[in-house]
Amino acid sequence: NAGVTQTPKFRILKIGQSMTLQCTQDMNHNYMYWYRQDPGMGLKLIYYSVGAGITDKGEVPNGYNVSRSTTEDFPLRLELAAPSQTSVYFCASSYSNLGSADYGYTFGSGTRLTVV
Amino acid sequence: AQKITQTQPGMFVQEKEAVTLDCTYDTSDPSYGLFWYKQPSSGEMIFLIYQGSYDQQNATEGRYSLNFQKARKSANLVISASQLGDSAMYFCAMRGEGNDMRFGAGTRLTVKP
């Protein structure tokens, strides 16, 4: 099982450039998420999706956009990259059945992004 | 509002000893799940253990156990017989009846030989 696949693993961007972080899951999870983790900190929710065609903002959505055209894919778009977006980005997915361990997240391996 | 609090930024434990990592939570949801994740220096997030709010027994997974005290809203992780490979960041998390999971700030555990 591939689980949650994120690409790329590392990326250096120049200020003002744009890029898309890819996330694909093969577990037929309906929920998908994007988090960022700044050095030595916890995870902050950027955007999430409860199903294809449905997305919503999390705690820190500014400077990012998402789309969910299929169950499997949930790309994160960075427009006009800024140094404040230097972080590690995690994609995650889950089922929605409260009451089991499946309610937890399966994480991708992360994307380390540096904006210079 | 849901909140997870981990009050120990860093913890040290001697190899082969047990260690408890503290976690308290706050929620008004009647049903919720509590989770612990390990993040080694390589950066990935590894699921360790899950506790459901209606589970009568404390969860156990190998050397990991979750000390769940519902009335006190605490969900401490106990690692028995610590190993050098247990050195990592540990995150407590909760998912209630909403759409997403809330994470604590994490505890960095260092196992000394």
Residues within 8 A of A (CB atoms), B 84-113 only: 91, 93, 95, 97, 99-101, 103-106
Q: Does B50 touch chain A (CB under 8 A)?
A: yes
Matching residue, tokens 């705690």 = A59
Residue B17 has pLDDT above 80, yes or no: yes
Give dist(CA A5, CA A8) in Å, integer.
9
- Amino acid, single-letter form, for residue A41: M
Determine the Cα–Cα distance for residues A22 and A20; give it in Å rounded to an integer.
Answer: 6
Q: What φ, ψ does residue A45 adopt, rounded to 5°? A: -80, 130
Q: How far is CA A94 from CA A79, A105, A110, A116, B58, in A?
A: 27, 5, 16, 33, 23
Along the 116 residues of chain A, how does pLDDT read in single tens digits? 679 999 999 999 999 999 999 999 999 999 999 999 998 888 999 999 999 999 999 999 999 999 999 999 999 999 899 999 999 999 999 987 776 777 788 999 999 999 99
Q: What is the pLDDT of residues A55-73, one digit of tens each?
A: 999 999 999 999 999 999 9
With contacts defined as CB-CB under 8 Å, which chain A residues touch B101? 33, 94, 104-105
